[in-house]
Amino acid sequence: MTGRPFRTALVGFGWINAQVWLPRLRAHRHFEVVGVYDPVLATRGRAAVGDHGLAPGSVADRLEDLLAHDLDLVVVGTPNHLHEQTAGTFLDAGVAALIEKPLCLSTDELGRLNARSWATGTPFQISRPSARRLDVDRLRSLVRQWCVGPVQVHAEWLRTSGVPRPGSWFTRRDQAGGGALIDLGWHLAEVTHGLLPDPRRTSLTAELAFPTADSAQSGARWRGDGPATDALDGPDASPDGAVFDVEPDGRLLAHYRDGSSLTLRAAWAADVDVDTTRVAVRGTGADGEECHLELVTTFGFSPNRVTHPVLRVRRGDRSRQWPVETVPGKEYDAQLDSTLSMLRRNLPWRAELQSSAAVLALLEDAYRVAGRPLVPEVPARAAGAVPC
Instruction: Give which of 199, 203, 168, 163 is closest to 183, Cα–Cα.
Output: 163
Residue 164: the pLDDT is 92
Residue 239 has pLDDT above 50, yes or no: no
Sheet holding 249-256, edge to edge: 201-208, 249-256, 261-267, 152-158, 276-284, 290-297, 310-315, 318-323
Digit-coded pLDDT (tens) for 265-317: 999 999 999 999 999 999 999 899 999 999 999 999 999 999 999 999 999 88
pLDDT band at 233 (very low <50, low <70, confident <90, very high): very low
Sign, Cα dihedral of 362, 306, 15, 237 = positive
Q: Between 228 and 335, where is the model more confident?
A: 335
**What is the Cα–Cα distance from 108 to 113, expressed in whole angstroms?**
9
Residue 381 lies in a domain: no
Instruction: Give which of 356, 388, 57, 370 is closest to 187, Cα–Cα.
Output: 356
Least confident span in 113-127, 157-171, 247-261: 157-171
Q: Between 92 and 376, where is the model more confident?
A: 92
**What is the Cα–Cα distance from 196 to 200, expressed in whole angstroms?**
9
- The answer on 298 and 149 residing in a single domain is yes
Residue 103 lies in a domain: yes
**Stated pTM of the model:** 0.91
- The answer on 314 and 297 residing in a single domain is yes
Digit-coded pLDDT (tens) for 207-216: 999 988 777 7
Determine the residue type at 183: D
Residue 378 has pLDDT above 80, yes or no: no
Residue 366 has pLDDT above 70, yes or no: yes
**What is the Cα–Cα distance from 52 to 332, expressed in whole angstroms?**
19
**What is the Cα–Cα distance from 135 to 322, expressed in whole angstroms?**
9
Determine the residue type at 297: T
pLDDT band at 101 (very low <50, low <70, confident <90, very high): very high
- The answer on 157 and 191 residing in a single domain is yes
Residue 387 lies in a domain: no
Domain extent, residue 24, equals 6-128+343-369
Residue 46 lies in a domain: yes
Task: Tally the domains of the chain.
Answer: 2
**What is the Cα–Cα distance from 181 to 265, expressed in whole angstroms?**
7
Residue 379 lies in a domain: no
Q: Tell me the angle at which helices 180-193 and 349-369 cross, rounded to the nearest 10 degrees.
A: 130
Residue 348 lies in a domain: yes
Mean pLDDT computed over 360-382:
84
Mean pLDDT computed over 153-171:
94
Mean pLDDT computed over 338-367:
95
Residue 237 has pLDDT above 50, yes or no: no
- 3-state secondary structure at position 255: strand
SS3 content of the chain, % helix, strand, coil (to 5): 35, 25, 40
Residue 303 lies in a domain: yes
- The answer on 147 and 275 residing in a single domain is yes
